[in-house]
Amino acid sequence: MFVDVLRRYVESLPPQQTGWLAGLRDPQLSKALALIHDRPAHNWTVEALAKESAFSRTVLAERFTKIVGMPPMHYLAKWRMQIASELLSTGNSNVASIAAEIGYESEAAFSRAFKKMIGVPPSAWRLGVRVAAGSGSDEASETANESGS
């Protein structure tokens, strides 16, 4: 039932709507999105993603950017950081293993990318989430959640 509701919602989106849900309307883009979501740690390039989605590299980059609202590699980076922030928030995995799990070859490269996108290093994110969760303060929880959005 949920899938049917989601499918109907996606079909009802206005043509100018952007975002990953809008990308699901396009069969080829939905393939590219599924590849990114299913294998975030894969060493994706626009060319490899295009090939597996039956696009030319240029058409994929243009269509993805127009419909999803950002280039495919930027979307991949954001998706990886969303996964990482969740792993940092809920698990006890160390930063190096999280980096490897989402496709970074080194902890340092992951830490730089995380800080650039999220605004704080992974260790600070983990600490901030744990402090906020332990404080019971709604304001602290909101601040930690906003940092990861």
Report the pLDDT value the prediction gives residue 6, as an integer from 0 to 100. 53
CA 113 to CA 132: how far, in whole Å?
23
Q: 94-120 b/e with 16+ CB inside 10 Å = b?
A: ebeebbbbbbbeebeebbebbeebbee
CA 49 to CA 37: how far, in whole Å?
12
pLDDT grade for 26, boundaries at 50, 70 and 90: confident
For the segment 70-93, the average pLDDT, to the nearest whole number, is: 93
What DSSP state is assigned to residue 56?
Answer: -
Crossing angle of helices 107-118 and 72-90, in 10° steps, is: 100
Is the pLDDT confidence value at 59 over 80? yes
Q: What is the largest CA-CA distance in the chain?
A: 51
CA 98 to CA 126: how far, in whole Å?
12
